[in-house]
Amino acid sequence: MTNQAVQKSKEPFARIVKKSEMSGKNVAILRIMAFLLAIVAGGVFILCIGENPFAVYGAIISGAFRSVMAFQGTVKIMIPLLITSLGVTLAFKMKFWNIGAEGQIIMGAIFASYFALFHDTLNHTLLIFAMFIAGIIGGGLWGLIPAFFKSKFDTNETLFTLMLNYIALHIVSYLRDGPWMDPGSQGYSKIATFSKNAMLDRVMGVHIGWIIAIILTVFVFIYIKYTKQGYEISVVGESHETARYAGMNVKLITLRTMFLSGAICGIAGMVQATGSDKTLTTAVAGGVGFTAIIVAWLAQLNPVMIFIISFLFSVLEKGSSVLQSSYGLSTDCADVLQGIILFFVLGCELFVRYKFVFRKKGGA
């Protein structure tokens, strides 16, 4: 202590200072700059592993768009990501940290698969409808459980939802190895491929999940912005005290919103299983539930932005799958690129609110 006093401490080299609120336009410019910087930094990484960055970026873009089929592939990746991001957004608006989208997707898929496997003789439209409702209920219940314990015993929802992911995952393993094992698989444990009757129809070459996703985008947008329930979610998210003060039933709103959040994720699971995978596997969620969290926050919980960002994510993912075949790069390289981009884009949020002030030369 005395040391410091004797030393006559200098003004610090750099200080972080709060900025005035930036205009929306400047914030957008800052974010675009961050994105461009991320591309440059990613390019440096590609250079380091001995490839031409322009060629690699070109390959990613062309990989996602080069043919109708490639584009359909991109859309297929986008569908569950978009739906799930919308789902978690509802919970996040309420500041309920739903990390359990992964499990909610799986439960939605399990419930829907029950109808696909055991009631595939139903009328096609009726079957699709039943699977849709089953997906909603499966995901919704999986969202309702942590909400119930949160409102009843104030348990930590982050841990709770996270743990439920693993439970859901192992339920699929159990079903695959036990009751739902495909009898025709000759001992190899897998669940049977769904019959044609239980598969989602295709419109313009892609299963109708894309239509559902667009409808849900509009629905969530309106729900958050213009409905009483959406208003309640915002108030509860801001402060439980305020919500109670306004005469809101916080428990009910928490339960309802988490059911809805889980239900939308469950729809993603149903769509993925019956539209894309055509069977139920442990990979039905495949990390989408976690990526969706990033998408939702990058989009600042705005449904329209979620649409755009989940599209960009899908382009990156589809495009980088091509890297493996044409450049022999492992898909892990694509993950590194994704990480670099996220680092820059999320990092720029610091500069939206703060700036650095450096010590003036020759000054004190």
Q: Is 361 in the site for other proteins (CB under 8 A)?
A: no
Considering only the stretches 44-52, 239-247, 260-268, 287-295, report the one whose residues sit in contact with other proteins under the rule CB under 8 A: 239-247
Q: Which of 78, 85, 51, 80 is nearest to 337 (CA)?
A: 51
Which residues, at least 6 apart from 328, have a Cβ–Cβ distance to it below 8 Å? Answer: none
23 binds other proteins (CB under 8 A): no
Binding span for other proteins by CB under 8 A among 63-71, 100-108, 247-255, 333-341: 247-255
| Of the residues 67, 123, 227, 326, which one makes contact with other proteins according to CB under 8 A | 227
Please identify, using beta-carbon distances, which residue of 54 and 245 lies nearer to other proteins.
Answer: 245
CB of 60 vs other proteins, minimal distance in Å: 37
Exactly one of 189, 229, 300, 331 binds other proteins (CB under 8 A); that residue is 229
215 sits near other proteins (criterion: CB under 8 A): no
For the bound state, the minimum distance from the C-beta of residue 226 to other proteins, rounded and expressed in Å, comes to 5
Judged by CB under 8 A, does residue 186 bind other proteins?
no
Residues 227, 90 contacting (CB under 8 angstroms)? no
Query: Judged by CB, which is closer to other proteins: 11, or 335?
Result: 11
Return the number of other C-beta atoms located less than 10 Å from residue 358's C-beta: 11
Residue nearer to other proteins on the CB measure, 48 or 364:
364
Task: Determine, following the binding rule CB under 8 A, whether residue 287 of this chain makes contact with other proteins.
Answer: no
Nearest to 262 by CA among 112, 147, 101: 101
Contact 299, 349 (CB under 8 A): no
Which of 54, 174, 245, 356 forms a contact with other proteins (CB under 8 A)? 245
Based on the shown chain and the rule CB under 8 A, indicate whether residue 26 belongs to the binding site for other proteins.
no
Residue among 10, 25, 196, 361 that touches other proteins (CB under 8 A): 10
Residue 20 near other proteins by CB under 8 A: yes
Nearest in space to 266 (alpha carbons), one of 216, 315, 229: 216
| Residue 242 in the binding site for other proteins (CB under 8 A) | yes
Whole-angstrom Cα Rg for the chain: 24
User: With contact defined as beta carbons under 8 Å apart, do 107 and 233 qualify?
Assistant: no
User: Does residue 252 touch other proteins according to CB under 8 A?
Assistant: no
Distance CA 80, CA 292 (A): 9
- Contacts with 133 (C-beta within 8 Å, 6 or more apart), sequence order: none
Helix (H) or strand (E) holding 168: helix 157-177
Q: Is 335 in the site for other proteins (CB under 8 A)?
A: no
202-203 and 14-18 beta bridge pairing? unpaired
Q: For residues 146 and 100, give the distance between their C-alpha atoms in angstroms, rounded to a whole number.
A: 9
CA–CA separation, 255 and 276 (whole Å): 31
Report, in Å, the least distance between residue 95 CB and other proteins.
Answer: 11
For other proteins, the closer of residues 9 and 186 by Cβ is 9
Residues that bind other proteins (CB under 8 A): 1-2, 4-5, 8-12, 15, 17-21, 226-231, 234-235, 238-239, 241-242, 244-249, 357, 364
